[in-house]
Chain A
Amino acid sequence: MMEELAKVPWAVIAPLIVVQIILMIVALVDLRKIHATNGPKILWVFLIIFTNIVGTIAYFIVGRKQ
């Protein structure tokens, strides 16, 4: 298991994962602070966590209530 993990070219993959995680965290922090969303909040939590980038984009475009 550890050997296989060591074989992954982390220098190449790491930035991709880091950017995705930052995006997810930003969306979750915003979701925590915002007063109300379009649709139930818990739905957005699941969408953001499980559909990595699509859910996040959808949340920022249609999920936030002004």
Chain B
Amino acid sequence: MRGFTVLLQKEFREAWRSWKFLWIPLVFALLGMTDPLTNYYMMDILNAVGNLPEGFEMLMPELMPADLLYASIGQFQTIGLLVFMATFVGAVSKERASGMATLLYVRPISFGAYFMSKFVVMSTIGFVSILAGFAASVYYTVILFGTFEIGPLVASFITYFSWLLFVIAVTLMMSATFKTVVATTCAFAVIFIGQILDTLVGAFWTISPWKLPLYGVQLIRGTMEMPDYWWSLSLTLVITIICVSLGILTMKKNASTTKI
């Protein structure tokens, strides 16, 4: 791991200068706020814009705090991940295309260290982002609906973070393997089409990385089958490690395709 700390500092400085540490967490915080607020003010919103007929009555479901957290996680899963992956999918491939990578690849750095420094910075930004998102969602849920138990909430957060590590590993691996356009397509396909497939036909299996966010919420509800949970978590971590290793290999292999 030659020069790992230097590369890490470089990546951190770059992320800091392009405001990534600030705006991605803020976006996640906004996403986290939306669902508790809209659900709480649903009646007012419908009255204000709904154009409802006279005497219209609607029975609102009794929402538990876990339901609102699940709704917020649903926001992170679509818009949040879209923003996150779109920001980082060019991490390796764009540097190759712009010729920035040439300046680095001629030096005696290890590709493992370079890839890992990117991975660590992305995970840090991801951690801060979902921390902001969870904090915003939980803050509003506690004010407007009801409280959480702290233990399951932390467990749920860690579960979601493991899922995010998987997303980051897939994104970086695609970025190291392909050009930016292809990498974007492939990474989005794996994450989003994977989610859709898992909702459509996911009833046939219980162990899959795409189920982890849901399992995190089920931990709070207390309806989780623990063996399924542990198997999914371990499978996710194993796939993450495989993706990282593949990413390092393909990054080394594609080093010659960098623009000079």
Report the bound CA distance from A61 to B89 in whole Å.
11
Interface contact A30-B144, CB-CB below 8 Å: no
> Is there a chain A Cβ closer than 8 Å to B5's Cβ?
no
Residues in A whose Cβ lies below 8 Å from that of B143: 11-12
> Is there a chain B Cβ closer than 8 Å to A45's Cβ?
no
**Among B25-33, B159-167, B196-204, B215-223, the stretch in contact with A:** B25-33
> Is there a chain B Cβ closer than 8 Å to A53's Cβ?
yes
Residues in A whose Cβ lies below 8 Å from that of B87: 60-61
Using C-beta atoms within 8 Å of the partner chain, give the interface range for chain A.
Answer: 10 to 19
Residues in A whose Cβ lies below 8 Å from that of B19: 26, 30, 60
Minimum Cβ distance to chain B for residue A57 (Å): 6
Given contacts A57-B83, A60-B87, A66-B94, contact A15 B26 (CB under 8 A): no
Out of B27, B33, B37, B140, name the residue touching A23 (CB < 8 Å). B27
Residues in A whose Cβ lies below 8 Å from that of B23: 23, 26-27, 56-57, 60
> Is there a chain A Cβ closer than 8 Å to B78's Cβ?
no
> Is there a chain B Cβ closer than 8 Å to A5's Cβ?
no
Interface residues of B in 147-200 (CB under 8 A from A): none
Interface contact A16-B94, CB-CB below 8 Å: no
Across the interface, name the chain B residue whose C-beta is closest to A13. B37
> Is there a chain B Cβ closer than 8 Å to A20's Cβ?
yes
Interface residues of A in 1-55 (CB under 8 A from B): 11-12, 15-16, 19-20, 22-23, 26-27, 30, 53
Report the bound CA distance from A34 to B140 in whole Å.
36
Given contacts A61-B83, A61-B87, contact A16 B27 (CB under 8 A): no
> Is there a chain A Cβ closer than 8 Å to B239's Cβ?
no
Residues in A whose Cβ lies below 8 Å from that of B83: 57, 61
Residues in B whose Cβ lies below 8 Å from that of A57: 23, 27, 83
> Is there a chain A Cβ closer than 8 Å to B86's Cβ?
yes
> Is there a chain A Cβ closer than 8 Å to B22's Cβ?
yes
Interface contact B86-A20, CB-CB below 8 Å: no
Which 6 A/B pairs are nearest by Cβ-Cβ distance?
A23-B26, A61-B86, A16-B33, A60-B23, A19-B29, A26-B22
Pairs A–B under 8 Å by Cβ, sample size 17: A12-B37, A12-B140, A16-B33, A19-B26, A19-B29, A19-B30, A23-B23, A23-B27, A26-B19, A26-B22, A26-B23, A26-B26, A60-B18, A60-B87, A61-B83, A61-B86, A66-B98
